[in-house]
Amino acid sequence: MKLWIIAILTLALLVGASCLVGVVDLFAGNLDATMVLAVSRLPRTFAALLAGAGLALAGVVVQMSVQNRLVEPGLVGTPESAMLGLLAVTLLAPGATLMVKMSVAAMSALIGTLGFLWLARNVPRRDPVLLPLVGLIYGGIIGAAVLWLAWTTDLVQYIGIWQSGEFSGALRGRYELLWVVAGIAGLLWLSADRITILGLGEDTARSLGLDYRQTLLTGLVLVSVIVSVVVVSVGSIPFVGLVVPNVVSRWRGDNLRRNLPLVAWLGGCMVLACDIIGRLIRYPYEVPAGTIFAVLGAGIFLWLLYAAPRRAHG
Amino acid sequence: MKTTLATLALAVIPTFALAQTVEVETATGRMAVPAAPKIIVALDLAAIDDLSALGLKVAGVPDITPPAYLAEAFANTKIVGTLFEPDFEALAVMAPDLIVAGGRSQTQVAPLSQIAPTIDMTISGDEFFTQAEARVVAYGEIFGLEGKATTLLADLDAAVAKSKLAAEGKGDVLILLTNGGKVSAYGDDSRFGWLHTALGLPEAYPDLTAETHGEAVSFEFVADVNPDWIFVVDRGAAIGQDGEAAAVTLDNPLVAGTNAGKAGQIVYLDSARLYLSGGGIQSMMGTIAEVTSAFAPDAS
């Protein structure tokens, strides 16, 4: 139970800090503090928490789907595929509603992720590093296609807002789509056991009576929706799905039903912390939270790989 | 005999040289350029703008949808690559007498020089306005249209003076560029900075020392700076996208609460003109007219 107290305290501390940190001085009185909180600070805080939680959970699902802990959506081409879909909609139907853009992005993300899965079947499993490398190249190729398309249509700066996740645009009325992530988190938690079995591999999963293909597809649909929502609303934040699940599994083992809430919590807290740092580092200007996370995340990941003490858990 | 020849040579060579090249100011210093070139390729929209203002027709242009006022300059021209990447083969076939590069094609000046005489006419940085004027002077010299160039610059000076008068005492200005749902702020040494320096518009946030692409800011920043005027460049509109208009991006309580928001002093500038062909004389005349009419709707 002590863990929950720590978790709630950390969350409360970060939310409090996030509400207090910003360009407008809440106590100076020249602007209505309640308005600033309601319009800017709280939406931004929720957006960071939801995006972080969503990406971390998406990381778990992808890792279980290919039985490799070194991958995450950003390493299997999911955000790049979402961007390709978004760019296509932007070019073909610039006036399309957000829902249409979202759906196309999610569909495109799903196709891209399935493409990786198909590739992954033919990658030898002996070396765990091989699969992330394949994913890196795969994502790189799709990313290059996105960049080429944007380049020829002079949209390079436009795709820039999807590529570097940041929360300065998250205002009341602009971020609410991210609450979809909360719903998906609930669904994932309900199906935590199935995802655990998914992680045992196709043969074992089938022998345990799991509809492997359906579970896999459902999981990847949820991943695609999460990633697309995040890319559309705030931009892609790499490494969250890689770092967070690995930290949690090192710390607490692999009981997903118990750990999924923890994964969501840590993902949300870390991204929110990065956003707060991003607001302060070049105050009053903004540094993307995605950039901060990439720096911190890389550090944490290296520490995990080389220095962290291993602890066994059941 | 010898002296006659020498005299003849002395008499001939300078005229010969004069007919062949002329030395003008470019972004990379003074350069000898072939005088009165016939076939001209311009890869930068500001250059195409200046040349068409001088009544010259370019033969080759980059592949881009130009701002509406340049449509005529683009009619019946050959496409020679993109803004960033010239099509070297097409250029070699065309064999132009002069290539005018700059801005987005600045990095291509060296390779282009191997095909034809190429000048870098980039306009950038805190000397933006002076450079823009210098380019018009240079084009006038190259094509022997000094008189026309002087007239154009006199018109520009008059427009600037009128704009300054209209803006005087009307309050400070924050220049914002919107891109999707996000905003960046631009200072007086940025690519839009000449609005501050040349037109004498006071900066709402003087500490802003923005680079070319501006500083990413939050809407809270805009609220806190509380400018009297907001000049908006819609990056989306500049590239022909109406999906997420700048007005939608700025339609929030934080922006609405500023002096500019309350007084309805948020001015949407023609961004294609400012963003794509910024620095061209027609582009600047158009933008200045927009600014003037924003400050003094009755005067214009």
CA dihedral over A16, A17, A23, A25, signed as positive or negative: positive
Would you call A31 and B223 a contact, using CB atoms and an 8 Å cutoff?
yes
Task: Report how far Cα A87 is from the mean position of its chain's Cα atoms.
Answer: 20
Closest-CA distance, A67 to chain B, in angstroms, reads 37
Would you call A158 and B236 a contact, using CB atoms and an 8 Å cutoff?
yes
Nearest by CB to residue B216, choosing from A39, A90, A285, is A285
Report the pLDDT averaged over residues A98-116: 92
Is residue A97 very low, low, confident or very high in pLDDT (cuts 50, 70, 90)? confident
Pairing assessment for the beta strands B78-79 and B60-61 based on DSSP bridges: parallel
Would you call B218 and A168 a contact, using CB atoms and an 8 Å cutoff?
yes
Q: A111 burial class (0-12, 13-18, 19+ CB within 10 angstroms)?
A: middle
Would you call A24 and B224 a contact, using CB atoms and an 8 Å cutoff?
yes
Q: Which pLDDT belongs to residue B2?
A: 55
Is residue B14 very low, low, confident or very high in pLDDT (cuts 50, 70, 90)? very low
pLDDT in tens, A12-43: 999 999 999 999 888 887 788 999 999 999 99
Q: How confident is the prediction for chain A on average, in pLDDT?
A: 91
pLDDT in tens, B195-227: 999 999 999 998 887 566 788 999 999 999 999
**Structural domains for chain B:** 21-152 (3.40.50.1980), 169-268 (3.40.50.1980)
Tell me the CA distances in angstroms from B132 to A251, A259, B26, B153, B185, one per residue in order: 62, 62, 11, 10, 22
Consecutive H or E run containing B222: helix B219-225
Closest-CA distance, B182 to chain A, in angstroms, reads 5
Would you call A157 and B235 a contact, using CB atoms and an 8 Å cutoff?
yes
Would you call B242 and A279 a contact, using CB atoms and an 8 Å cutoff?
no
Identify any residues that bridge with B120 across adjacent strands, giving them in sequence order: B101
ipTM for the complex shown: 0.87
Model confidence at B18: pLDDT above 50: no
pLDDT in tens, A162-184: 888 999 989 998 899 999 999 99
Closest-CA distance, A16 to chain B, in angstroms, reads 17
Instruction: Return the structure tokens found at A132.
Output: 């992330």
Q: Chain A partners of B236 at a C-beta cutoff of 8 Å?
A: 158
Instruction: Return the structure tokens found at B197.
Output: 């320096």
Q: Chain B partners of A23 at a C-beta cutoff of 8 Å?
A: 217-218, 220-221, 223-224
Q: Chain B partners of A174 at a C-beta cutoff of 8 Å?
A: 181, 252
Would you call B223 and A23 a contact, using CB atoms and an 8 Å cutoff?
yes
Helices A212-233, A98-121: inter-axial angle, 10-degree rounding: 130
Q: Chain A partners of B214 at a C-beta cutoff of 8 Å?
A: none
The whole-angstrom separation of Cα B254 and Cα A37 is 11
Nearest by CB to residue B179, choosing from A90, A95, A157, is A157
> Helix, strand, coil shares of chain B as percentages rounded to 5?
45, 20, 35
pLDDT in tens, A47-73: 999 999 999 999 999 999 999 999 999
What global pTM score does this model have?
0.88
**Structural domains for chain A:** 1-306 (1.10.3470.10)
By three-state DSSP, how is residue B36 classified? coil
More confident residue, B236 or B193: B193
Report the pLDDT averaged over residues B232-247: 71
Sequence-ordered alpha helix ranges (H) in A128-211: 130-152, 156-163, 179-190, 192-198, 202-207
pLDDT in tens, A195-219: 999 998 889 999 998 999 999 999 9
Nearest by CB to residue A40, choosing from B213, B235, B254, is B254
Phi, psi (deg, nearest 5) at residue B183 = -130, 150
Which has the closest alpha carbon to A241: A314, A160, A132, A152? A132
Model confidence at B5: pLDDT above 70: no
Which has the closest alpha carbon to A60: A193, A214, A199, A163? A199
Contact criterion met (CB below 8 Å) for B225 and B205: yes
